[in-house]
Structure 1
Amino acid sequence: MNLTIVPDDLNGEAVLALLQFHLDEMHRWSPPESVHAMPAERLRQPDVAFFSAWDGEVLAGCGAIKHLGDDHGELKSMRAAPEYRRKGVGKAILARLLEEARTRGYARVSLETGRPEPFHPAHGLYRAHGFVECPPFGDYVSDDFSICMTKDLR
């Protein structure tokens, strides 16, 4: 597979469908107060850089980075399309987002995800790339459902 990862304006049908799938899964797996996934309208805002990953003409995944401060970014909407799970798409998107973070001069990148079993593959991906558990940041709170992770880029 030869992925092409590009900035995306979130107007394509395939991207919008994958984001809706992502939101639907987050609502299925998470209590309502713990769904922090952003809809397309929010991901289009200037403080977010959104990328889509393509295998030829087929959408393989997506991910975004949100500006939190001069030295801090947050990963958002990391998602591989179902047929591309466990094929390296998440790893490729993560690498692109970390490259973007370094270009922006961030000293660290953080994320929030769920603790239950459906989120364990994400934990593995992030840990394999140097992310460690951290206290809540931004508006997140410490609870039994959420886990926050961060990676120092310095």
Structure 2
Amino acid sequence: MSFYVTRAEVSEPDVAALLARHFDLMRAQSPPESCHVLPVDDLAQPDITLLALRENGALLAIGALREFGTWGEVKSMHTAEAARGRGVARALLDVLIAEARAKGLQHLSLETGSGPEHAAARTLYARAGFVDCPPFGSYTHDPLSHFMTRAI
């Protein structure tokens, strides 16, 4: 694998396109009150580090780290459909975890869907050391949400 990860900007055309795909997919899978996907412009805020995983210049995945004091949240993880099953998401998640560690964060949490369409994501996160947890931050209990966390 010759993957490499760099900082990304929402203004990059390929990043914007993959983020739009992610946003549309998440909106299609959950009703508005249960969909916690960030609008693209929110990913350009100073408390968010947006990363892009590429291979030979081609964008394969995006993911973000949002900081809240001593803990962080994984946001907007999305792998291009053509790149799935190649270890891309795990490679990017490992970099997000390392980024959280380098920033001195103590915990990393996430919210993902609870339905079958998110089963692969939940398995990925569990294999990376995330465990189930109650809602965190401003989240509230929602049967369509699944919350996970891990120490850094």
**Alignment TM class, shorter chain as reference:** over 0.9
Distance 2:88 2:10 in 1: 18
Partner of residue 22, structure 1: 22
The two structures, once aligned, show a CA RMSD in angstroms of: 0.8
Deviation at 1:75, TM superposition (A): 0.2
Percent of aligned pairs with the same residue? 39
Report the residue type matching 2:95 in the other structure.
R
Superposition pairs of residues 61-140 of structure 1, within 5 angstroms: 61-69=61-69, 71-140=70-139
Deviation at 1:111, TM superposition (A): 0.3
Q: Structure 1: which 5+ runs fail to align?
A: none
Distance 2:43 2:84 in 1: 22
Q: Structure 2: which 5+ runs fail to align?
A: none
Per the normalisation by structure 1, the TM-score is: 0.96
Report the residue type matching 1:97 in the other structure.
L
Moved over 6 A (4+): none
Q: Write out per-residue CA displacement over residues 63-83 of structure 1, whole angstroms, 9 at most, x where no aligned residue.
A: 0000111x1000001011110
Report the residue type matching 2:9 in the other structure.
D
Deviation at 1:86, TM superposition (A): 1.4
Q: Write out per-residue CA displacement over residues 9-58 of structure 1, whole angstroms, 9 at most, x where no aligned residue.
A: 22111110100000111011111111111122100000000000111121
Per the normalisation by structure 2, the TM-score is: 0.97
